[in-house]
Amino acid sequence: MTVKAKAAVMMVAVTMMMIFMTTTNASEGRSLRHRQKRIMCSGGKTVPVRICVQTADGNWLHDRGTDSGVHVSLSGASCRTSSQELESPADDFEQGDYDCFSYNTQNVGTVLGITVQLLPYHDRWLLDSMVLRYNNVRTCLRFTQRVWFTDHISRKITDPKNVNCSDYRL
C-alpha cells in the first residue's frame, strides 16, 4: 500500500471516529460529546450552590421519606465535585418535604448532572425532584426524574431543565 493510500485510510478512520463521537448514543439518549466528566475538581475558585429537594408525597405509596444522610456531587463540563452532605438541624427528607440547603463547591463549569447518595443507607426514599441554583445565576436547573432509592444507594440524575429561579422557593 502506498503512503498516499495509507494517509487516505487514516483520514477515513479519523472522520468515522469524529462522526461516531458526535452521534447520539442510543443506550444513554444523549450525545457523547456532552458526557459528564469523571475527573475530580481540584482547588481553584469555589461557587455558591443552593439546592432544594422535594421528597414525594401522596397516599398511593408508603415509606417515601428517609432517615439516611443524603449526599450530592455535581458533574459538569470540566470536572465533578466531591460529595457534599445535605444536612440541617431539622428532620429532613420526610414525606412531602421541600428541603433547601446552601454550600460552596468547586466550579464544574456547565452543570450536566447530579449524583445522589444515601450514606449510611438505612431505608427507602422516593426523590421527586431537585432544583439547583449554581453560582448565583438567575436561571436554575430542575432535575425532574422521580427516583426510588431502594436497593441502590447511589443514582446519577441527568438532563436538567432550565427554569426561572423565581418560580421556586429557594
Average pLDDT, the chain: 80
Cell of 16: 468515522
User: By percentage, how much of the chain surpasses pLDDT 90?
Assistant: 41
Q: Is the dihedral of CA 133, 162, 98, 75 positive or negative?
A: negative
pLDDT confidence of residue 8? 55
Q: What is the pLDDT of residues 47-87, one digit of tens each?
A: 999 999 999 986 656 667 888 889 999 999 889 999 999 99
pLDDT confidence of residue 136? 87
pLDDT at residue 107 tops 80:
yes
Q: Average pLDDT of 90-115? A: 93
pLDDT at residue 9 tops 60:
no
The span from the CA of 124 to the CA of 104, in Å, is 28
pLDDT confidence of residue 139? 87
pLDDT confidence of residue 48? 95
**Which helix (H) or strand (E) segment is 10 a member of?**
helix 3-22
Q: What is the pLDDT of residues 127-160, one digit of tens each?
A: 999 999 999 888 899 998 788 887 667 899 999 9
- Choice between 165 and 120, residue whose per-residue pLDDT is larger: 165
Q: How confident is the model at residue 16 (pLDDT cuts 50, 70, 90)?
A: very low
The span from the CA of 25 to the CA of 23, in Å, is 6
Largest pairwise CA distance in the chain: 73
